Amino acid sequence: MGPAFSIEKVYRRSQDVVARDIQGEFILIPITSGIAEAQDEIFSLNETGRLIWERIDGKKNLKQISDGLKQDYSENSQDIEADVCGLTEELLKRKMVEEVTNN
């Protein structure tokens, strides 16, 4: 079981991952061990994933991120929330993002 997940929570990008755009390919490169399952894995994000990744800023919660995306893109709001939550859950599972707690 991964950490408890909620759309009301705020997440930030882990310092142990470097995001790079190489020739239009958006990749996440783990710096420390324990992020990738194998020692030679890196991760590639699609366009949606990249948009969401860039908005996970440690300040807005996932609901606010979804609302921001709804304003910028005329997509079905349920689809956007599903995308934001789906990706964040995956990133959380892989320790590429972490929950921001108030204390």
Partner 1 sequence: MDDTPYISIEKTTTTSLWKNRQPSLLGQLDMELTERCNNNCQHCYINLPEDDLRAKSKELSLPRIKEILRDAVSLGCLRVRFTGGEPLLRPDFSEIYLAARRMGLKVLVFTNATLVTPELARLFSEVPPLEKIEVTVYGMRRESYEQVSRKPGSFSAAQNGIDLLLRHKVPFMVKGVVLPANKSEMEEFSLWARKFPGIDYPPAHAIFFDLNCRRNEKRNRLIKALRIKPEEGVEIITRDRSGYLKSMKQFCAKFMAAGGENIFCCGSGSGGASVDAYGVLQPCLLLRHPDVVYDLEKGSLRDAMENFFPAMRRRKSDNAEYLARCARCFLKGLCEQCPAKSWMEHGTLDTPVEYHCDIAHLQARYMGLIGENELAWEVVDGKSRVEKFVNQDEQPAPA
Chain residues binding partner 1 by CB under 8 A are 18-20, 22-25, 27-33, 36, 38-49, 51-52, 73, 75, 79-80, 83, 86-87, 90-91
User: Which C-beta is closer to partner 1: that of 10 or that of 35?
Assistant: 35
| Cβ neighbours, 10 Å, residue 87 | 22
> Encoding tokens for residue 31?
């710096």
Give min distance, CB of 63 to partner 1, in A. 17
Q: Which is nearer to partner 1, 25 or 57 (by Cβ)?
A: 25
Q: Classify the C-alpha dihedral 24-89-10-14 as positive or negative.
A: negative
- State the minimum distance, in angstroms, from the CB of residue 79 to partner 1: 7
Q: Tell me, rounded to whole angstroms, the distance of Cα 25 from its chain centroid.
A: 16
Looking at the DSSP bridge assignments, the partners of residue 22 are 25
